[in-house]
Structure 1
């Protein structure tokens, strides 16, 4: 039962469906966005559409804030990534399978500064999916336990050290536009939602249908 601590906002399911339809994301599954192919398709579209996001690419490897590009180099990298659709010869509406073999679907998002999460209760048979998914700029998987205070402190330290913070920080000079890139993304996807800390429990990431024994002939 994967459990995650994340900093982000809830993306309402209706908004997820509308976004996927309008962007013509054939490989994205609106009712369950975290499978590797689906999440990669959606995340790639974010970086192609929203030019305020930090430069990320599946070919760049694991994302780290210290790798952020600033000024002219960052702009050049963004333009270059958009001209080739983030991957050679591909577009945001198509996505190939992840070439590596991650431990889970969350690991397949390690290249991205943005994370997509789902919560799910396998005992709730009244709905196909929850009314919302989660979009996060910070997420950690909790296998046994974690210190919430330490994780929040680590996140705040990353924002203070970043030249291009995800959120506006009162104790330092805010970005020129008054908002961090993650706040701008929230305004584009789900303006009314609050950015906050969540514990997200996914009771069954795979959601396989159990094999029923065959009836004797």
Structure 2
């Protein structure tokens, strides 16, 4: 259950340049707009940015997406915060006793002894922020995530959609006819578009 100290910016989920629209526009069907830290989503986003923003991403080799999540929070807002964090530099404070020295704290001198980014990285981070989160502050953030590998139950509607569609031994689809999986993908895409409204 780490606490992250990251240098970067907040990326809103809503809005024309927000996370949800980015995922829909770039057809990242398997990505979860509500939890970017999920490994598949992180991978899909980084691959997409590598295609669309290679000049920026190549200068940000340690780019990570971090989520704030408290598993003890049972409010309606707990599942999805209005933004995720884009970190060019991320330090993870492990659970007590998890650090090699047995300590889970740093002194300000350790963190701020030098600029977190070189000039090329800093310039790239500003470019990325200006394109996708204009107006957001670039700086240090402390973010708690009580369950980075957060599990969530499958969507009941999606499970119902999958009935009758099973992969055969050659990896093709069985079911109610050709293109059945495309129908399911279209339904997922339609649900994502409804979230944007």
Q: Output the TM-score relative to the length of structure 1.
A: 0.58
> Relative to structure 1, is the Cα distance of residues 19 and 191 closer, same or farther in structure 2, using a 3 angstrom cutoff?
same
Residue of structure 1 in register with 2:195 after alignment:
none
Q: After superposition, give the CA deviation of every residue in 1:19-52 in whole Å (9 maximum; x if it has no partner).
A: 1011111221100111111101101111211142
Query: Are 1:26 and 2:10 counterparts?
Result: no
Residue of structure 1 in register with 2:5 after alignment:
5
Aligned with 2:143: secondary structure? strand
Moved segments of 4+, more than 3 Å: none
Query: Are 1:133 and 2:84 counterparts?
Result: yes
Residue of structure 1 in register with 2:128 after alignment:
185
Aligned with 1:52: secondary structure? helix
Q: Output the TM-score relative to the length of structure 2.
A: 0.64
Q: After superposition, give the CA deviation of every residue in 1:100-124 in whole Å (9 maximum; x if it has no partner).
A: xxxxxxxxxxxx4311100111222
Of the candidates 180, 197, 200, which is equivalent to residue 140 of structure 2?
Answer: 197
1:1-217 aligned at under 5 Å gives the runs 1-14=1-14, 15-55=18-58, 112-125=61-74, 126-127=76-77, 128-143=79-94, 144-154=104-114, 156=115, 158-159=117-118, 165-167=120-122, 180-208=123-151
> Relative to structure 1, is the Cα distance of residues 157 and 50 closer, same or farther in structure 2, using a 3 angstrom cutoff?
closer
Q: What CA distance in whole angstroms lies between the structure 1 residues aligned with 2:117 and 2:11?
A: 24
Report how far residue 193 of structure 1 moved.
0.4
Provide the aligned length of Structure 1 versus Structure 2. 139
1:54–1:113 contact (8 Å) kept in structure 2: no
Aligned with 1:120: secondary structure? coil
Gaps of 5+ in 1: 57-64, 66-111, 168-179, 211-217
User: How well do the aligned residues superpose, as a CA RMSD in angstroms?
Assistant: 2.1
- Whichever of the two has the greater Rg, that structure is 2
